[in-house]
Amino acid sequence: MDWHFGATAFATAITIIDPIGMIPLTVTTTGNCTPPRRARVVDQAILVAAGVMLAMGIVGPALLGYLGITLPAFGIAGGILLFLIAIDMLFARPTGARATSDEERDAGENPAVFPLAIPMIAGPGTLATVMLLVNLAHGDAVKYAMVAGAYAAALAITWLFMRGAARYMHRIGTTGIHVVTRVLGIILAALAVQFVINGILQTPLVHR
C-alpha cells in the first residue's frame, strides 16, 4: 500500500479546502441565520460539495481523455493553479479560485449551495486537485480509495469547523486564522511545485 500517496492526497485535500479559512466565510454568509438554520446550511453545503467532488472524480478522467489532455499536462496546469492559490493564502488575500467579491455579494437567502458549497469548498482549485489525484492513481483501486478517504476526512474536518464557526472565530480570532492559513499556504505551495516537477519529468520530451 502506497502510504506516501495517501499522505499526499490528504495534505492536498486539507490545504486546498482550508477548513480554518472556512470559519470567517461561514460566519459571514450565515450571519442572519438562527443556530439551527446555520447547522442545516452547513450540512447541506458539505453534502453538495461532496457530491460535486465525487462527480468530478468519476467523470474527470474520461473528460480529459476525450479532450486529449495528458496527465503530465494536467499535472503542470494543476500545479500552477495551486501555486497561485497558495500565494493568495500566504498573503491572506481572497482568492478568485473560491469566490469573487461579486459572487459573495450575490449570495441568496440559502447560501448552502452558493457560495458555501460552490465555489468556497468545491471551487476550481479543489476540483482540479481531485482530478489530478484521480489521474495519479493510474487505475489503482487502493489509491482511488485513498483519494476518496482523504477528501472525506478533509470534508469531515471542514464540517466540524463550519458547525462551530462562531465559537471558533471568537476563540481563535482573525490573527490566528491568518497564521494557520499562511502555514497551509506554504505547504500548498510546496505541493504545487512538486506537481509541476513531476509533470515535467513525465513529459515524453524529457525522456527523448
DSSP string of 53-119?
A: HHHHHHHHHHHHHHHT--HHHHHHHHHHHHHHHHHHHHTTPPPTTT--HHHHHT--S-TIIIIIIII
With respect to residue 25, please indicate whether it lies within any of the assigned structural domains. Answer: yes
Q: Domain total for the chain?
A: 1
With respect to residue 205, please indicate whether it lies within any of the assigned structural domains. Answer: no
- Residue 62 pLDDT class (50, 70, 90 cuts): confident
Indicate the pTM of the whole model.
0.79
* Cell output for 89: 493564502
- Residue 14 pLDDT class (50, 70, 90 cuts): very high
With respect to residue 151, please indicate whether it lies within any of the assigned structural domains. Answer: yes
- Structural domain range at position 33: 3-200
Which position has the higher pLDDT, 99 or 114?
A: 114
With respect to residue 206, please indicate whether it lies within any of the assigned structural domains. Answer: no
With respect to residue 207, please indicate whether it lies within any of the assigned structural domains. Answer: no
Mean per-residue pLDDT over the chain, rounded: 86
Residue 83 dihedral angles phi and psi, to the nearest 5°: -65, -40
With respect to residue 71, please indicate whether it lies within any of the assigned structural domains. Answer: yes
- Min mean pLDDT across 25-34, 45-54, 162-171 is at 25-34
With respect to residue 171, please indicate whether it lies within any of the assigned structural domains. Answer: yes
